[in-house]
Amino acid sequence: DTCGKPATSRPPSVPPALSHWHHNLGLELSIYSSGSVDAQRLFFQHTDHTDLPDLSPLLKSYYDTVNAGPKTEPRSYEIIAEAEGVPVEQWLFLSDNVK
């Protein structure tokens, strides 16, 4: 129930995958988007997925172009890795942008 707030849609395979990675594999999940951190939080709190309407508990951190920098700059990814305290060679970065 989104209490009258609009629910956001995403491919049906995404919520179960995030849940599996977090709960079964113990992976820490973070988001980096050109949308603001506040918008990201709302996006993941209110989904149209019946079994997982709120994905925010699965996410450790939120990054945007304000707290990390432009997505086209390699330094932005270094900033995120440093903030998380995880060596970059231990990261898996997934994106819908092929650039």
Taking only the tens place, the pLDDT of each residue in 33-85 is 999 999 999 999 988 888 888 999 999 999 999 999 999 999 999 999 999 99
**CA–CA distance, 30 with 89 (Å, rounded to integer):** 16
Contacts of residue 93, defined as CB under 8 A and 6 or more positions apart, other chains included, come to 77
**CA–CA distance, 42 with 81 (Å, rounded to integer):** 24
**Please, what is the Cα angle at 27 between 6 and 51, to 5 degrees?**
35
User: Would you state the pLDDT for residue 80?
Assistant: 95
Cα first-last separation, the chain = 37
User: Would you state the pLDDT for residue 32?
Assistant: 95
Residue 10 has pLDDT above 80, yes or no: no
Paired residues of 47 in beta bridges: 8
Residue 89 has pLDDT above 80, yes or no: yes
